[in-house]
Structure 1
């Protein structure tokens, strides 16, 4: 019975989706968000030690675990899709006669509305923990763990606001900025603060690629192969010959982080990811022609920000509840320095996902809204009520 209901739901979502929608775009965005979530769950450990906690990474203790960062650091794909969608959206808004501020407000409101719920919950939680006598260092570590991933939303908001200016910018220009900043920092021992110029410039590279894609400037599989191979070779040379870290995420205690701020290696790695994303468009479109696959992607996209914003809270909640066991649990509270920790952490992932599902049920309306239009029946599609308006909010 449950299987039949799921099939009917998938069929209704499929029928309610406009035929002109490129489902592969939504799939890439879903993969990017889920990649970040899984990456954080795998490379972040909350270690309980003498009544206090501190956040460490298995990458500190097990360098062989580094390839995990190559798989799950998917931010470049998110910015690629963001540039493509924002450029198309702005072009459509201009054609409708909508003003820039109207367009920008609509996009930023949908981006930041769910953030307010996280900030409110953690303002109350942090105050309650401090009032209960929890050490300031512990509370600070937890709050930082929740809020630090949000940095990319601020960068994304700035690039979105600049879409009319950067939509026609060649990505080679911001790439040149990153190259020169790294040369000054590392080759000529320039000031460390100069690296923060790479924060907008580094993510502007895939964003501009997305804008070129929206203008149909990335046709053919040749572009994908050039980006994939060129980016991978450049990254390998930078890591093996120029001293860049192999990890594509920050490692506590490391002298250089590829992500904070972005380095040239992070940008070239992102170009390789963008090339792979472009090469996967065809296969994704074929797979997503199946109603079940498309329904799963549509559901993730409807709650992409909710999933992203609450995934760290979910991990913290499970970790806190695990303390009720009376002793540190492997893969949850212990130092991540053995293969057994990795296996235990993999076993905890479904528990994290279950807690995230509860957060999703509680807070998803902050992203999706509670509009009456969701109950409108789609003409000519019996049983597809609530779906056409919902699917239309994915972008």
Structure 2
């Protein structure tokens, strides 16, 4: 391409990079934003690499996993499962925001309500839009089975938002615990998960109720958040970080080698046990190791992100955090659903049963990313305050979101 044509694009990009750098407050913790961006990008990358489709005889899409055929690739999920980091930086950022709100004369309840509203808007947006899309796509000839597959994929990441909202609502109590116990405030959460795991996987597992595993849902994910709150309260230093890194890694290895926990950090169709839905002890073990590493690397990462060219993408990703989380599966479906009307396409609608599929899927990732960027240009408005939106429209969006949830959960 002619360099004369590229020059304006280059100049515009440089101007944007300089503007984002200049607008960043001097006291902004760039390392925290960098860690959040890294954890955010791991979510769509992991889903796009591992999650595939199969086509039935009617041309309908069904979910499939690369790990079903290639279990030896399961250690890759240790890299892409970075929700521990996300909860860590969430706790750290929340305690700073909470402290500022109280210093301005706000209340704990007001701060919590504001946070929950921020988390809820994008979720309400994506589910309401999909409630409208479902009948439209069905009218265009998309099979109902494909629509159910798509609804399942869209709603999957939203469980995380629900858990994160619940943890966020407990921030005032997390702060009190951190001030009282320091980094040890996370230890009882780890103990709860260990006890529940010993009951559901121990010698009396057959006598345990099926709902027992749900007791791990909150403490399993809250562990990393509580560490972040303790870190934000300056009660978690480098020495504790080393303990987390080495202790978490040792516990992680012991659970795999001696207690035969599943290797994959994500659910694999056909496996009786899963580490993430709800979390097993392997989740906080990995979160401990990741958190220790993140704290130890904080200062170095902050220095690296002083470079404007590296800082700009971090800013952009953080500004679209909930949009990326809520819409990345839609971006993949935007490519896969039209392709389902063709013969099976390698890396897209063909079954993920060969390493060639993985190579082809890597080639599709840029198209998924481009689709997400295009979708985000419109969907990001759901993250902004809904000022000026009539109550009737908000109520309609809530009704549509509820209808989509019923369909996605197989209740409609």
Q: What TM-score comes out, normalization by structure 1 length?
A: 0.90
Q: Does 1:328 align with 2:344?
A: yes
Relative to structure 2, which stretch is displaced further, 252-261 or 101-110?
Answer: 101-110
Q: State the shift of 1:101 in Å.
A: 2.8
Q: Secondary structure at the match of 2:63?
A: strand
- Name 2:279's counterpart in structure 1: 262
Q: Secondary structure at the match of 1:20?
A: coil
- Name 1:9's counterpart in structure 2: 16
Task: Give the alignment partner of residue 332 of structure 2, picking from 309, 315, 320.
Answer: 315
Q: Deviations over 1:52-109 (max 9, x none)?
A: 2210101011012112211111111111111111112111111111022321222122
Relative to structure 2, which stretch is displaced further, 178-187 or 137-146?
Answer: 137-146
Task: Give the alignment partner of residue 40 of structure 1, picking from 44, 47, 71.
Answer: 47
- Name 1:114's counterpart in structure 2: 122
Would the aligned equivalents of 1:235 and 1:268 in 2 still touch at CA under 8 Å? yes
For structure 2, list consecutive stretches of 5 or more residues without a partner in the other structure: 1-6, 178-184, 388-412
Would the aligned equivalents of 1:168 and 1:211 in 2 still touch at CA under 8 Å? no
Would the aligned equivalents of 2:53 and 2:352 in 1 still touch at CA under 8 Å? no
Q: Deviations over 1:122-174 (max 9, x none)?
A: 10122234455654433222101101111011111111111111223300011
- Name 2:197's counterpart in structure 1: 182
Within-5 A mapping of 1:1-395: 1=7, 2-50=9-57, 51-131=59-139, 134-169=142-177, 170-187=185-202, 188-189=204-205, 190-220=208-238, 222-323=239-340, 326-368=342-384
Would the aligned equivalents of 1:168 and 1:208 in 2 still touch at CA under 8 Å? no
* Pair 274,156 (structure 1): closer, same or farther in 2 beyond 3 Å: same
Q: State the shift of 1:254 in Å.
A: 0.6
Would the aligned equivalents of 1:212 and 1:218 in 2 still touch at CA under 8 Å? yes
CA distance in 2, matches of 1:311, 1:225: 34
* Pair 135,258 (structure 1): closer, same or farther in 2 beyond 3 Å: same
- Name 1:377's counterpart in structure 2: none
CA distance in 2, matches of 1:49, 1:255: 25
Q: Secondary structure at the match of 1:17?
A: coil
Q: Secondary structure at the match of 2:54?
A: strand
For structure 1, list consecutive stretches of 5 or more residues without a partner in the other structure: 372-395
Q: Secondary structure at the match of 1:176?
A: helix
Relative to structure 2, which stretch is displaced further, 144-153 or 121-130?
Answer: 121-130
Would the aligned equivalents of 1:66 and 1:246 in 2 still touch at CA under 8 Å? yes
Would the aligned equivalents of 1:168 and 1:212 in 2 still touch at CA under 8 Å? no
Q: State the shift of 1:299 in Å.
A: 0.7
Would the aligned equivalents of 1:38 and 1:72 in 2 still touch at CA under 8 Å? yes
* Pair 252,126 (structure 1): closer, same or farther in 2 beyond 3 Å: same
Matched pairs, number: 370
CA distance in 2, matches of 1:101, 1:49: 50
Would the aligned equivalents of 1:303 and 1:368 in 2 still touch at CA under 8 Å? no
